[in-house]
Each structure stands twice: as C-alpha cells, then as structure tokens.
Structure 1
C-alpha cells in the first residue's frame, strides 16, 4: 500500500518503469559481485567456522534424516537455529568441504537480500531511485562484509533473507488485508527466527512501516477491514493483527536466553557490570553511526572495555536523545526520519549488549539489518535537503558516482582481509588493542601450521592481557605437548592449577595428558575435579568414560558415555566410544553363548 501521492507516481511511471527497475537490479547484482566474487577463493576461518562446519561431524555428513532431526533438537553453539544448520548441511551436500562453495552461497543470499530490499521499498513507496539507493547502500557498505564473507555468519544472511520475504509478504497483505495473505507473513517470520533470532523486533518494524510508507494509520474508507475504525481503534487493530508475530518474538527471546545461558554464552554482572553495559550500549549506538559514515579500522572482534570515559557516554546520550527528539518533533512532516531512526534503534536492541553475549563490545555483523534505517533517512532526507538547489540533479549525480565506487573499493579491500584466518587476525590486531581472544586465535592458527614458537608468543601475549583467559592456558599446554614436551606440558598445567585451581578446561586437558602417560587414577581425579567445577561438561564425561574403559570398568564407562550424550546429544566422539563398547560387549556375550 502506498500513499495517494505515491500511487500517482506509480501510475505516471508505468510506461517507462521497467527499464529503470532492471537497471537498478543489474547494478545491485554486478556491484555486489565486484566486491564479493573474490570469496570463491577464500578459506574457512578459524573462528566459529569450526563449530559450524569444519569440525562439526553432523554438518559434514550432509543432509540425512538423523542430521535433520539433530538440527531441530540441537542447541550447539549456544543457539537454536535449525534453518541455519540445514543450510550448512545442504552446502556440504552440494560442495563438500570446498570453502569456495560455502562462501558463494552466502554471497548469493546477500544479493537476493539486496534485490528483495529494493523490491520491498519500491513496492511500498513507489520511489524507485530512493529504494535503489537504500538497497545499494545495503549491498555495498563495508560494515556488511563480515556477515557475507564469514561462513559462520550464514545465519545473518539467511535470517535476513526470510525477513525480507516477510516484509514483501506484509506489503502484499497491507494492500488487501485477509488471513490468506497474512499466513505467508507468519511462515517467513518463523523461518527467519529459526535461522537467527536477530529479527525478534520485526513486528515493531512492521508497525513503523504501517505509519510510513504504508500509511495504514490513515486507511481510506474503501478498505474493508478497517475503513470505519476511529484512530484509537485503528491503532489497536494494527497491533492486534500482529499478536501472532509478537507471540513468536517473545517465544524466540525466551528460548534464546535459555539456550545461551545453558551454553555459558551470557556474561555475568561480575564480568560486565550493568552500568558498563548501559554505557557501552549508548557509545556503541554512536560508534555504529560513525563507522557507517567513515568505515575504517573494521575488525572481526572489538574487545569489551573495562570502563568507558564519562564524556563519551554523555556525548552519546545527547546525540541519541537529540535525534530522537527531532524524529518525534517532525513526525508528521518528516515521517521517514522517525521510521528510519526507530528502525535503527529498535533492531539493534537484541544485540546492543544489555544482555551481554560473548566478549565483544560491538560487532559489524550486528549492523546488517539496523543500518537500513539510517539508509532510509539518507535516501529520503538528502533529496529533500537539496530540493530547492538550482543544480540539485548534478549534485546528487556527483555524490552517487563518487560514493558508490568508494564503497565498492572499500568493501573489496575489507573482504580481502577475510581470505584466511591469519590475514584476518593480523589485521584485527593491527586495528584493535588488548585483544586477547584474537591473540589466542592467531596462536592457534600458527600452531596448526606447525609454527609452534610463534604460537606460544601469542598465547603468552593473550595471557598478559587477560590472566584469567582459560583457553590460552589450554592452548599453551597443547603447544608444549606438540613439541614433544609431555612432561613439561603436564608440569605447566599443574603450575597453572596451583595458582588458579578452578579451571575446568585445564583439569580436563591435564587429565587427558596423564591418561596418555598411563596414570589413570590421577587422570580420573582431574576429570572429577573438572566436573566439580562444571557439572555439565559433556567432553569430560566422555574422557572419564575412556579412563574407566582403560581401567576395565566397562559398565561405568558406558554410564559416563551415556551421560555425555545426555548433556550433548551431538557429541559424536562419545557416541562412537559408546557404540564400540556396546558392540564389544555384545560380541563377548555372543562368543560366551556359542561356547556354552
């Protein structure tokens, strides 16, 4: 549904509209390919790609009935996103473990998202060139490279794909509201949430679009369902029709919180106090705007600050409050300002850090959908700003022919950093500080290339930044082991535990090394210590089962393997160990029976 003015626009352009639409579509496709065609030669990244693809046996086995069931049952990676798992499995089915195919799939979804965004706003507003601008900014902005060039972020582009189909279906529904047209809205929204719960705020976005550009708050008397409603009743009607969507959002929020808390992904207030979270949220809102305008020093991870300067918090609060005041003040005169601004603020809420997930202060991938709101403001604001200028057409043409080549070049360079793990991590360390997670990750990649001495340097650097970073201790011990220094590695872990006795992962790895040395009882002691610290550590139950099997206590071993699978049904090593023991017992039973 479009306003009367927009309807006139549509009728006026009917005869010549096909060619400009095709031109915009071709530009979106070709420009996006220019930026991202390189990803066909990129590798998997040693940061979450392992959990999603390269070290995930379920995904590597492709689309099987058992794996499809697992996709709907699994909370692996502290998320419930079956659509994403199925997408990765299909990639493996089509391309095997060739990373180029996986990357090209993500690129294809990004192109489709750009085209759908253009189609949605062109249908809603009738403004072809403004809609094309929004879609082009979405397709080409460097902040969106992370979502496209990172296989593990398939969930971003996939969730947005179904989100765009939700918007398209809603635009169609808004033209002639009826139940049959609303069912696709619900269906695509469910698929979006099943890919990633980022778009839980989409029902609120639909309310914004009801106000502008759909103008459903001013429905004409010819509309059957709402033509005779008073303003208050009309607002109630617009909210009421979206109750199923709000219910789905609420269910997704509860499920996500439960799963992420169970997976240990949600930070505590001890590590991230509430005041620091609020301060970081305010500053992050302004930093995203800054990076939209000047996208430099982009990184795969921005470390969360221990504290933030008071002047940054006050400045961010004043900026956000000021723009919010203007958006409300000029709500009727400049509706696109309010819609774009509240789109930006609202869609960032789930990931702005009030509920802290992970160690990052902010992330480029979080802007994939929210920046559309700011692009709306630019697309409708700039033409209105220069409307009375004498040479406005030349000015706008000059801006666009300068802006888009710059975006293409900048995004191409940014995508280049994603060609492999070492290139990406080195760049991140160049543009961030105190980044202990990436120091550790770079060390891990160097160790994988047998550059163990270099790896050890980065592990030690990570620990100098954060002495409580357990993973760096574990990796450092493994690096010593890879150099054939088993005794030194054992001594290192023992020294770590003497200082920091409550590291479950260190107890686990020390137990594995002691098991290798044949010191079964000592290994079992450390496995049990790990479980004392973290009772739901599935991998430790699996190791404890292996230790019991080595000691000949088969029934106990089976019990521990089953417990590991109860906690993590997707832990294939435990499943394989259990199958081996059960097969061995069955064979032994058969031999005994035959003997009798």
Structure 2
C-alpha cells in the first residue's frame, strides 16, 4: 500500500500589502525603463519582427510548420510578433511597450511565486529583478521578447505546479503542463523548469520522493530534453552556431563555463561595466589562472553542500542558477558565442535564484535586528534600489539605435569586430557618411580578417559607387573564399558581374545563390533581371514571380517583373507590376519612370506626362525622364519642346545612342539638318552598326545637298543589309541627283 503523501503547508494568504507591493514594482519598472520606449529597432530585430513573407495567414502557418523561416524555431514567440505586426506594423514603440509590460509582469509573478513558497523578502527580490540594470538588454532589445514572454509562461507554469504540489489536483497539473509547453515554444531555456522544481521540492522538504516529486515531472523532463536537443541541432545547423569558432575541447568548454559562471554572478553584484558585447576571451589550458574559475565554482558548490544542514537555501540557489545557465555556459553552441561567451540577456532567467537568496537574506537581517538596525537595513535597500533604477535609466538609453549602441560597445570593448562591423553597416545607410562606414569596416577587418560577413558588407557598400566596383568584387570573392555557402555573397558577386557586362557569369552566380538559399528574394530578382538583360524574358518571368512570392513587399522584384512582362508584350501584367512597385515605394523614381514609359508606348500620353513631371520635379538630372518628355512633345506636335527636352537628355547622358538618334530626327523635322547630321554621326560613333541611324544620316545629308556624302552612307548601309529595298531606292535617287549635277 502506498504511503500517504506528506502534507504541504498551505500557501500564505495574500494581503493588501502584496497588492500595494505589486503596484509599486510595476510603477518603478515602467519609470526606470522608460528611456527604452523611445528606442527603435537594433541589430537583428528585423530577423524577429515578422518578415514580409510571413505576414499573411499562410505565413503564420509557416511559422509553425517550417524550420528556418524564422531566426529560431520559437513558434509561440514568432506568432506573438506576427500578431503585433498586425496591430502596430513597423512602429517600434508597440514592441517596446509590450516587452516592458511583460518584464514588469515577470517581476510581479516572481514576487507572487516567492510569496507562495513563503520565502522572506519576496518583494525585495522582485524589485531587484525588475530594476537590475543587467536586465535592460532583455527589456530594451525587441528581439529579447523571447526572454520576457517565455519567463512569464515559465513562472505561470511554476505557480500552477506549486498549486498541484499542494493540492494534487489534476486540473492544476494540466494547466501547469500547458504553460510549460507554451514556455518551451517561446524559448527553450525554459526546459530547465522541471529540474528547478525538483530543486525547490528538495529545498522545501529536504528530500525528493519518486511518487510526489519525480514522477509528475518526468514527462516534463523528457519533453524538455527532447526540445532542448532539437533546439541545439537547429542552432548549430540552421542558426550558424558551428565552424572553427566552436572547435573546442570539453576541457576548454569547462574553463569557459567556470569563468562565465563568476562573470554572471559578478554582474549581479557590480553592474557598473555593462556592455552589449564583452571581450571574447581565449580558453587556454596552459594558463594556470584560468583554472581558478571552475575550481572556485566547484569550491562554492562544495561549501553550500556542507552548509545545507543549517540552510538549504544557498545550495538550492546555486543549483538553480547554474542549472538554468547551463545552456549558456559554453557546453552548447549558441550563435551569440561567435562574438562573446557572455551576454547580459543570457542571465535573465537564472538571476531569479540568487536574487531570491539576496532578498531573503536582506529581509531576515531587517526582521531580526533591533529597531535602528532595521531602519539601517531598509535605508540601504532604498539606496540600492535608487542606484539600480538610475543605472537602468542610463543603460536603457544606450539601446536607442544601432549607432548609439555600437558606439557605446566599442567605447568599452574596442576589440569588438562585431560592433565595428554593425556600426559600419548602420553608417552605410547614410550616403553622407560613406567614408566613416568604410573606415569602420576596415577597422573590423583588421580585428577579424577572416570574417566573411565583413568582406561582404564592405563589398555591398563599395558596390554603390561606380568608381569602386573592382574592390567591391574583390571583397565579394574574399567572402566566398572564406565561406562558399554565403548566398548573399554570391548575389553580390552576380550584381557586380552584371555591371561589368559579364551577364552569363552573373546568371551563374545568382543561380548558385538560389541553390544555397532558394527563397533569397534579392537573388531571384537579380537573376530575373540578368536573364532579361541576356534577352531571355520568357525565362525571367517565372523567376521574378517566385521573387515576388518570397518577398511581396520587395519593390525591385515587382519592377523587374514588369520589365520582363513588358518585353513579352504582356502590357496589362507589366502595368500591374509597375503600379505595385510604385505602391510599395511611392518615393521611388524608377517605378514612376517605367510606368510612364509603358503608358507612353500605349499612346496614353495624358497619363504618362504627369508621372514624368513628378520625376523631373524631384530629379532634374533624370536623362530618361527628359527623353520621354521629349518624345511626348514630338508626338503632340510641339517640336520645340521636344527638341529642348531631348537636348537636355543628351547633355545629361552624352553616350546614349537612342537619345542622339531621336534628337537627330527631331532636328531634321525642325529643318535643322546641320544639327541632325551632327546627332546622327554621334549616334553612329556610339553604335556603328545601327542601320537606322546610318540611313537617317544619309537622308539628312541628302536633304542638306551633301549628295556625295549621302551616297557614301547609303553604300555603307547597303553593305550591312544588301536586300534593303528602301536604301537601294534612296541610293539610286542620290546617284541620279549627282549625275544631274544637283548637290555637291
């Protein structure tokens, strides 16, 4: 017969003071973290805030069913981002506000769980958690909603499990299991919860029983282990947490773990040197002092084990802290470890235990001391809270934008190649700061010359300037030598090959990019454009349709698709594509210009003219717009206006044969044969085999009375196309004039 379970003391009744404490914690949290609400998106936030291809209901389905469509397979988190994007789109304030509210909620729930466990100083610990500056990174960084949302679910699961532990009601266990599942699908670090609950059970009763404690948590332990292993595989094989940077022995990983353990405890005690990216030290088994970190951690654990007879709290706290930190101690490959072994946001959940211990210790000191001692203890607590709130306020401002964040990072860690590279990428978005951006890219490459992403980033920046195409190609190829599987680097190389006139090689580069990353919309759009440039519009259309499917908000893909459809004379489809490109980027001139050209080709001059005038109002140097305006003027019978616009087009782009030819025709129509001859000759100099230009030149010479010159041009044209009846007829007429003595 089973022995009856030992009774668990009922949870303490919640008093009005608990509600007041919760309100004060929330208010203090909102106030201290307020500067973070004014921040924008930083670093990899764009990888988390719902991608354009995932914003539909079908995209929501893909979030749950396709590994790799999101930065990490956290479907609950990305579903939350999906919902938020429906509510406030790309406005950062909404995401920041939700994250801050979630953090405040976590602090309150933490306090409530501690109260349920009858741990002294529950609201002291909750306040420390809410205001500690080391948690700013989790609150002010939108991507780290995975921390705040997962911890809320973690604490909800813990609350309901403690209820089950006290009552053995199946409903409470079902709710606890549901919250645990949601937490796992928000962030897998919550897989440590069942182990943490076993620690709590041991702390409460000084023993673990199979029936009471282990058996109910066994399904959680198995599920958590399976999800954790799957997450580790995804992180390594999909998330980029592999390669030489993670080629470590287990002894080296142990050295990292020992040092990281003390680093995180140190950040709790001394949060004055916080940084986004900390120096990535090199573990070396030959350096004696590096062994002190893991040995000291083991000594601390042994000391807590010895003192468990007097107090189980310290040992429980250390076990909870180290166990929750385990995935981030270096034993599991995490992508962020490429840049640093330690990150502030990795200690968000583990901090619960040491803060609970600090809160309990402080409360016991205050409660057991005399009146003046109690006053002193609470005064010290008030000063600590004020100091932490001030530090949190200051640190929150660092996360305003990429430039502020990475500048501050470099100030404290000048060796951070990641910070230098990201600062360069941020500055590169401002054409006026191009030189600064190049300087930071070069700085980053000096720090880490084997970083393929840095070569690629600098290559993209250099590619924007026609004078630096060659070095841009060198950096693209350097990136591919270092990492031949970088689809975006193949895309960059293809772009540069197109500009160099090597269309076939460019097509190969784009195809390689798409083989590596089939849904890379930019590469698909570029491949379609290259196929179009190679005279293969029928092949370009399906490629560009895929690009539009992958990235429905990529205006360049719609624009290129319109070009391909236009080449196939699918004018209605082309018009729809151009209009969609214009809707997506109303300020873009290319879409407006292409649409105007298409409308003009259909004789819809009244619709085309306003579009062209809008282009010229914002870019008076657009040769294409002047050219199209000139053609419209000629078609409307306004030769003077047509000639004026075409002259401007030629002035802006003197090496444009079509503009020269059209201007020559306009001048001939206006009776300016001398000017017409000059333009036709210029067109032929640029395109010697242009039969139409040569025939028009001969006609203009003939009209000018320069018959002998006209005959030479007709004869040259006839050599190019011997069976052209019009040229033969014109040549015969010119020879007849010459025989009659007409002309020179």
TM-score category by the smaller chain?
Answer: 0.7 to 0.9
2:252 to 265, 273, 276: 276
Q: CA deviation at 1:78?
A: 4.0
- Please give the per-residue CA displacement for 1:95-115, whole angstroms capped at 9, x wherever unaligned: 222211210110010011111
Q: Which range moved further: 175-184 or 572-581?
A: 572-581
Cα deviation per residue 1:451-481 (whole Å; 9 max; x = unaligned)? 1100000000000000011111112122222
What residue number does 1:362 align with?
A: 342
Aligned position for 2:390: 409
1:446 corresponds in structure 2 to 427
- 1:292-336 CA distance string (max 9 Å, x none): 111122122224323458344222123211221122222242121
Q: Which runs of 5+ in 2 are unaligned?
A: 1-5, 573-744
Contact (CA 8 Å) 2:547, 2:557: kept in 1 or not?
A: no
Q: Which residue of 2 aligns with 1:225?
A: none
Shift, 1:166, TM fit: 0.6
1:34 matched to 2:31? The reply is yes
Measured at CA, do residues 494 and 443 of structure 1 come closer, stay the same or move farther in structure 2, by a change above 3 Å? closer
Corresponding residue for 1:139?
A: 130
Return the offset for 1:344. 0.3
Corresponding residue for residue 329 of structure 2: 352
Structure 1 CA distance for aligned equivalents of residues 361 and 170 of structure 2: 36
Instruction: Pick closer, same or farther for the CA change 1:118–1:500 going to 2, 3 Å.
Output: closer
Structure 2 residue 261 is matched with structure 1 residue 265: no
State how 1:63-78 maps to structure 2 within 5 Å.
Answer: 64-74=56-66, 75-78=68-71
Map Cα deviations across residues 523-568 of structure 1 (whole Å, 9 max, x no partner). 1343466679x58785686354654455455786688789999xx9
Q: Aligned pair 1:52/2:45, yes or no?
A: no
Superposed CA deviations along residues 41-69 of structure 1, whole A, max 9, x for unmatched, are 21111x1112122x82146x4xx422221
For residue 223 of structure 1, what is the aligned residue in structure 2?
A: none
Cα pair 1:79 1:260 within 8 Å, conserved: yes
What's the TM-score once normalised by structure 2's chain length? Answer: 0.68
Q: Is the 8 A contact 1:205 1:343 kept in 2?
A: yes
- Superposition TM-score, scaled by structure 1 size: 0.83
Say whether 1:290 aligns with 2:266: yes
Contact 1:353 1:361 in 2 (8 A): yes
Residue 427 of structure 1 and its aligned partner are, at CA, apart by 0.7
- Map of 1:211 onto structure 2: 202
Check conservation: 2:452, 2:480, Cα contact below 8 A.
no
Shift of 1:154: 1.0
Q: Please list, as runs of the form range in 1=range in 2, the aligned pairs for 1:24-423 lying within 5 A after superposition.
A: 24-45=21-42, 47-53=43-49, 56-58=51-53, 61=55, 64-74=56-66, 75-125=68-118, 127=119, 130-213=121-204, 215=205, 234-235=209-210, 237-268=212-243, 271-274=246-249, 275-307=251-283, 310-358=287-335, 359=338, 360-384=340-364, 390=370, 391-423=372-404
State the secondary structure of the residue aligned to 2:449.
coil
Which one of the candidate residues 467, 478, 486 is aligned to 2:460? 478
Q: Is the 8 A contact 1:531 1:540 kept in 2?
A: no
How far, CA to CA, are the matches of 1:342 and 1:273 in structure 2?
25
Distance in 2, Cα, partners of 1:424 & 1:574 = 30
- Mean CA deviation greater in 417-426 or 498-507: 498-507
RMSD of aligned alpha carbons: 3.5
* Matched-pair contact (CA < 8 Å) for 2:137–2:344: yes
Aligned 1:6-21 pairs, distance under 5 A: 10=12, 18-21=15-18
Distance 1:497 1:5 in 2: 62
Deviation at 1:522, TM superposition (A): 1.8
Whole-Å separation in 1 of the counterparts to 2:185 and 2:266: 31
**Contiguous gaps of at least 5 residues in structure 1:** 219-230, 592-596
Q: Which secondary structure does the structure 1 equivalent of 2:121 belong to?
A: helix
After superposition, the C-alpha distances for 1:395-417 in whole angstroms (9 at most, x for unaligned) are 32122111100110011111111
**Whole-angstrom distance in 2 between the partners of 1:192 and 1:570:** 30
Say if 2:429 is the partner of 1:432. Answer: no
CA distances 1:104-133 after superposition (whole Å, capped 9, x unpaired): 1100100111111111110121x4x51111
On the 8 A contact 1:425/1:441 being kept in 2, the answer is yes
Are the equivalent residues in 2 in contact too, given 1:77–1:263 (CA < 8 A)?
no
Distance in 1 between residues matched to 2:384 and 2:400, nearest whole Å:
25
Deviation of the 1:36 alpha carbon = 1.4
> Which structure is richer in relative contact order (CA contacts within 8 A, separation 6 or more)?
1
Q: C-alpha separation between the residues in 2 aligned to 1:20 and 1:501? A: 59
Write the distance in 1 (CA, Å) between the matches of 2:266 and 2:422: 28
Render the CA deviation track for 1:192-224: whole Å, top value 9, x for unaligned: 1111111111110111111234x3x67xxxxxx
Compared CA separation, residues 559 and 427, structure 1 to 2 (3 A): same
The 2-side partners of 1:5 and 1:571 are apart by 58
Deviations 1:129-157 (A, max 9, x none): 51111111110111100000001111111
- Seen in structure 2, the aligned counterparts of structure 1 residues 491 and 88 have a Cα distance that, compared at 3 Å, is closer
The change in CA–CA distance for 1:236 and 1:142 in structure 2 (over 3 A counts) is same
Is contact 1:541-1:560 (8 Å) kept?
no
* Contact in 1 for aligned 2:541/2:561 (Cα 8 Å): no
For residue 440 of structure 2, the aligned residue among 446, 452, 458 is 458
**Per-residue CA distance 1:245-285 (angstroms, 9 max, x = gap):** 11221221132123223324222356542243322221011
